[in-house]
Amino acid sequence: MAWLPILIKACYFLAAVLFILGLKRMSSPRTARGGIVWAGVGMVFAVLATFFLPDMHNLGLIIAAVVLGVSVAWWTGKRVAMTAMPQMVALYNGMGGGAAAAIGAVELIGFVRNWALLHPPGVPDTAPLRPESWAINALPPLPGVTMLTPTELGLGVLGALIGAVSFSGSMIAFAKLQGWLDKRFVFPGQRVVNMVLLAATVVVGILLVVGHASLPLIALFFALALLFGLMMTLPIGGADMPVVISLYNAFTGLAVGFEGFVLGNEAMIIAGMVVGAAGTLLTQLMAKAMNRSIGNVLFGSFGAAAGSDAHVIDGAQKPIDASDAAVMMAYAERVVIVPGYGMAVAQAQHKVWEFAQLLLKRGVKVKFAIHPVAGRMPGHMNVLLAEAGVPYDLIADMDDINPEFPATDVALVIGANDVVNPLARTDPASPIYGMPILDVGKAGQVIVIKRGKGTGFAGIENALFYADNTRMLYGDGQAAAGQLVTELKALDD
């Protein structure tokens, strides 16, 4: 049976290779679809191999949990609407973090149990539960009882901490994006409270590692870590959620890598660290697009500044009706459509593309301009427009399209708000000051499709809506786009 361990190791190796190649393929549009299949094959190999590891008990329970978890997640993943993808990523990511924390918990509890086995009551125990007293055979070995080394225990606790934070934090992010938690939870001195909470969690974690491990302390550790994830995420505004989800994605990767070390599983270490590094870089890219640092997103003054927003904008919003808007664009030479999260919520991407096609048929030059952080994740709008069938060559990045706005007749903003807010450039007091924006105000006319007069997702007034060349088309994104299509068709009759 000497070949079985080798075969298992080979499966893990193959899985690691397939994960890396799969991610590599996913980073190019041509090979992206194959990439996830490669990674999926790797996962199947790794899971199957795990069943054949020596000393595996509870196989029935394992199979039951795998089948249950896979079928529920598969079913929800298949059914959910494309617009809800960001929160689904947050949800599944949180589950991964929770799983990593659970591994840490089982290892810690097992550690305490083994310790008790090695120190039966009655035997005088002078040696404290310290790293230096393990592993060096200071204690009589018991068959089947292996103690974690200090490094394993330390990384296990660290992984459990990161995983637990990622779990509760991702669940809050999910609830916020799902619309279950509308309000930001802010109170004075919040930052101090969170810092104290983090410090307490770390202190308890260190106590666990240096020899005070006990069941109550383990419970306290996880309670503190989960609470910290909760408290850290609650004050963060919805506009920052993409950065936060990406950060928790990287967190879960790290946690998985650390727990992989505890279990001596190379596939977990490699996959976890690859995701940890890739996720960290992706988080930086996103934060950079918003001209903010990650620290600023997490502990920044976003909540405080938005609350005390005393900025008053002169003038009024000027409405326009659908027929005027349709005529304006029908006889324009260049139209740039700027989609935002509102389009995603209203599921308006198909109607918008239908409208754009009608314009194209009339000879109007139409382009879609996408801000790097439009929607709630980078690339979110690209995915939705691709779903509607918009070809790549009509979609422009912010840097490419900004110089073109002065030569644009009509900019149609649909469901976007903060990414077109000129206050980001002019008002140093604005919480989004410094964030690069799409220069729609430089177009001849701006038409904004918006549900009502309220502020946007980040709760900030938008000076664009009060500009002289801006007209507001109030209504649900899909209904408004539908009206535009009808009016445009009526023009042709």
Partner 1 sequence: MDGFLALYIFMLAAFTGYEIIARVPVILHTPLMSGSNFVHGIVLIGAMIALGHASTPFEITIGFIGVLLGAGNAAGGYVVTERMLEMFKSSKPGAGKGHK
Nearest to partner 1 of 72, 193 (CB atom): 72
In three-state secondary structure terms, 367 is strand
String of contacts with partner 1 for each residue 10-29, x by CB under 8 A: -----x---xx-xxx-xxxx
And the tokens for 91? 């949800």
- Looking at the Cβ atoms of 113 and 453, the one nearer to partner 1 is 113
Cα(55)–Cα(360) distance, integer angstroms: 66
> Does 193 engage in binding with partner 1 (CB under 8 A)?
no
Greatest Cα-to-Cα distance within the chain, rounded to the nearest angstrom: 98
Among 13, 14, 102, 350, binds partner 1 (CB under 8 A): 102
Mark the segment that binds partner 1 (CB under 8 A) among 230-238, 294-302, 391-399, 461-469.
391-399
Query: Does 369 help bind partner 1 (rule: CB under 8 A)?
Result: no
Cα–Cα distance between 164 and 151 in angstroms, integer? 20
Nearer CB in complex with partner 1: 48/193: 48
DSSP assignments along 39-59, one per residue: HHHHHHHHHHHHHTSTT---H
Between the CA of residue 301 and those of 235, 293, 298, what are the distances in Å? 10, 12, 9
Restricted to residues 146-185, the positions that interact with partner 1 (CB under 8 A) are 151
9 binds partner 1 (CB under 8 A): no
The answer to whether residues 245 and 89 touch, using CB atoms and an 8 Å cutoff, is yes
Q: State the nearest-atom distance from the C-beta of 195 to partner 1, in Å.
A: 27
Closest separation in Å from C-beta 368 to partner 1: 12
The answer to whether residues 331 and 299 touch, using CB atoms and an 8 Å cutoff, is no
Closest residue by Cα to residue 104 from 194, 13, 165: 165
Q: Is residue 360 within the footprint of partner 1 (CB under 8 A)?
A: yes
Name the residue nearer to partner 1 (CB basis): 231 or 275: 275
- 418 assigned to active site: yes
Question: x/- contact string, 231-250, with partner 1 (CB under 8 A)?
Answer: --------------xx--x-
List beta partners, residue 470.
Answer: 446
- Find the part of the chain contacting partner 1 (CB under 8 A) among 32-40, 122-130, 173-181, 306-314: 32-40
# residues near partner 1 by CB under 8 A: 119
**Residue 253 found at the interface with partner 1 (CB under 8 A):** yes
- For partner 1, the binding residues in 46-65 under the rule CB under 8 A are 46-47, 49-51, 53, 55-59, 61-62, 65
Q: Nearer to partner 1 by C-beta: 65 or 429?
A: 65
Q: How far is the CB of 456 from partner 1 (least distance, A)?
A: 21
> Interface with partner 1 includes 339 (CB under 8 A)?
no
Identify residue 319 by its one-letter amino acid code: P
410-414 vs 334-339, strand pairing mode:
parallel
Nearer to partner 1, 37 or 491 (CB): 37
Of 409-448, binders to partner 1 (CB under 8 A) are none
Binding flag, residue 386, partner 1 (CB under 8 A): yes
Interface of this chain with partner 1, residues 278 to 317, rule: CB under 8 A: 278-279, 281-282, 285-286
Question: Is 337 a binder of partner 1 (CB under 8 A)?
Answer: no
Q: How many of the other CB atoms lie within 10 Å of CB of 121?
A: 6
Catalytic residue among 182, 321, 418, 439: 418
Q: Which of 272, 342, 436, 456 binds partner 1 (CB under 8 A)?
A: 272
Residue 354 CB: number of other CB atoms within 10 A?
A: 18
For residue 366, give every residue at least 6 positions away whose Cβ sits within 8 Å of its Cβ, in sequence order, or none.
335, 336, 337, 356, 359, 360, 394
Angle at which helices 215-233 and 85-118 cross, to 10°: 160
Give the full edge-to-edge strand order of the sheet including 445-450.
395-397, 365-370, 334-339, 410-414, 445-450, 470-474
Residues tagged active-site: 418
